[in-house]
Structure formats: structure tokens, C-alpha cells
């Protein structure tokens, strides 16, 4: 038995824009407060109501490119014409503090994370149909028609990588999809490599 197995898990969640990823993740974090969301850096301008440091660290492209050169990112990618990246320091600090960490990133970032953190657990969220994806993007009311058209077009490329993920969830009925996401998190937590230390005393007692 490997008693030095890592105690914390890095979760990666991806989806085409509008599938409901952020809504699902926010609801999951309310149910599972032991998970920390990594706040990404982006060159995308803030949407109405978005706050610096809460939704993203909004930075100019020059500053972002300097951060890439400084090696601060665990992963970074260009998505829908904007740069996005995950701070290596943020993730490593949270994991070292014993927190599970969740990254909401695209398929390109997920690929990079699988290389550097092969123990990560990745989940892809699918919309129930293209018509519903478009309806959700328009209904959110946060983006211009041009931005929505670009995101719809790019959804095909994102969805083409769904098979690279450990789990796939269809976000049709919201409560069902949230239940599926929470089940994955709970099942991962029950893995013996993560549970051995926590239950060591009981296991020794039962073996005695």
C-alpha cells in the first residue's frame, strides 16, 4: 500500500462556452467547500458584474506575455482570441495546504495539466444539443452577437476533445448534472490511495 499517496486532488473541468460549466462549478463549490477554485489570469475584458480577483485576474496582453516569459503559468492558452492562464504558484500553494483544487480551463490547458499533473481528474461538460447551447449563450446576455457567434463556432473544436477527459457529463437537467459532478468528486475522495492515511487507525484495528 502506498502510504505516501498525495492527499489532494486537482480537478479539471472543461466545456464549450455556454454549456453551463461555471454555473455547475459554483454550485459544486457551495456543496463541497473543501475544494478551492483557481482564479485564472486573462486578457479578456471583464463582463458586467465580473470582479478582479474573484472571477479572473484581468490583465493587459503585454503584461500577460511578460508573465508567460517569467514562467508563472502552470498552463496557458489562447481561447476565443484571448489569453488565459493558471498560476503555478496558486495551485501548488493550495495543494500544499491540503486543499483540493479545481481548474475551469479549455481542452488545450487540460492537455498541458495532464502532462505536468498526471494524477489530475478531468471532467468534460456537454450541452444537450447545439440549439440549447446557442439558447444558453444568448440567454446569458453577457456577450455581443459577434462574440456569441465565435464561441458557437469554436464549440466544435472544444467538443472534439471530449474523449480526452476522464468523465463526461451532459448538462441537460441542472440538478442531475450537478449530482453527477458531485458523485465524481466524492468517488475520487474515496479512492484508497487518498483514504489510507485517514482510515489507517481503523484499518489497523480491524487487522489486529
Ligand X SMILES: Nc1nc2c(ncn2[C@@H]2O[C@H](COP(=O)(O)OP(=O)(O)O)[C@@H](O)[C@H]2O)c(=O)[nH]1
Ligand Y SMILES: Nc1ncnc2c1ncn2[C@@H]1O[C@H](COP(=O)(O)OP(=O)(O)O)[C@@H](O)[C@H]1O
Q: Cell 475522495 belongs to which residue?
A: 189
Instruction: Please check if 19 is assigned to a binding site.
Output: yes
Residues 157-196 binding ligand Y (CB under 6 A) are 171, 174, 177
18 part of the interface to ligand Y, by CB under 6 A: yes
Phi, psi of 130 (to 5 degrees): -65, -40
17 part of the interface to ligand Y, by CB under 6 A: yes
Q: Cell 490547458 belongs to which residue?
A: 109
* E-state strands within 7-158: 10-14, 35-37, 41-42, 57-58, 73-79, 82-87, 100-104, 121-126
Instruction: Please check if 208 is assigned to a binding site.
Output: no
Stretch of 18-26, 29-37, 39-47, 58-66 lying at the interface with ligand Y (CB under 6 A): 18-26
Distance between CA 83 and CA 81 in Å, rounded? Answer: 7
Per-residue string for binding with ligand X, 11-50, x by CB under 6 A? ---x--xx---x-----------------x---x------
Instruction: Please check if 15 is assigned to a binding site.
Output: yes
100 part of the interface to ligand X, by CB under 6 A: no
Smallest distance from the beta carbon of 188 to ligand Y, in angstroms? 21
Beta-carbon contacts of 34 under 8 Å, excluding residues fewer than 6 positions away, are: 99, 100
Residues 88-147 binding ligand Y (CB under 6 A) are 136, 139-140
Packing angle of the helix pair 130-140, 145-159 (nearest 10 deg): 140
19 part of the interface to ligand Y, by CB under 6 A: yes
79 part of the interface to ligand X, by CB under 6 A: yes
DSSP strand pairing (10-14 vs 100-104): parallel
Q: Which of 19, 14, 11 has the alpha carbon at shortest distance from 171? A: 19
Q: Which residues bind ligand Y (CB under 6 A)?
A: 15, 17-23, 136, 139-140, 171, 174, 177
Q: Which residues bind ligand X (CB under 6 A)?
A: 14, 17-18, 22, 40, 44, 75, 77, 79-80, 84-86, 104-106, 108-109
Annotated binding site for ATP: 15-22
Amino acid at each position: 500500500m502506498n502510504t505516501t499517496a498525495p492527499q489532494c486532488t486537482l480537478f479539471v473541468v472543461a466545456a464549450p462556452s455556454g454549456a453551463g460549466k461555471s454555473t455547475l462549478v459554483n454550485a459544486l463549490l457551495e456543496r463541497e467547500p473543501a475544494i478551492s477554485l483557481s482564479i485564472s489570469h486573462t486578457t479578456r475584458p471583464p463582463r458586467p458584474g465580473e470582479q478582479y480577483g474573484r472571477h479572473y485576474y484581468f490583465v493587459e496582453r503585454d503584461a500577460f506575455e511578460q508573465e508567460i516569459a517569467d514562467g508563472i503559468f502552470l498552463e496557458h492558452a489562447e481561447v476565443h482570441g484571448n489569453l488565459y492562464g493558471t498560476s503555478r504558484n496558486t495551485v501548488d500553494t493550495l495543494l500544499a495546504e491540503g486543499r483540493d483544487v479545481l481548474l475551469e480551463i479549455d481542452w488545450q490547458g487540460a492537455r498541458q495539466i495532464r502532462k505536468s499533473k498526471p494524477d489530475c481528474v478531468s471532467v468534460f461538460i456537454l450541452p444537450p444539443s447545439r440549439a440549447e447551447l446557442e439558447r444558453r449563450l444568448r440567454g446569458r446576455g453577457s456577450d455581443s452577437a459577434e462574440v456569441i457567434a465565435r464561441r458557437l463556432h469554436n464549440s466544435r473544436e472544444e467538443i472534439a476533445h471530449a474523449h480526452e477527459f476522464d468523465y463526461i457529463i451532459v448538462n441537460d437537467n441542472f440538478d442531475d448534472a450537478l449530482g453527477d459532478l458531485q458523485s465524481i468528486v466524492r468517488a475520487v475522495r474515496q479512492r484508497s490511495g487518498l483514504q489510507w492515511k485517514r482510515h489507517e487507525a481503523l484499518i489497523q484495528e480491524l487487522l489486529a
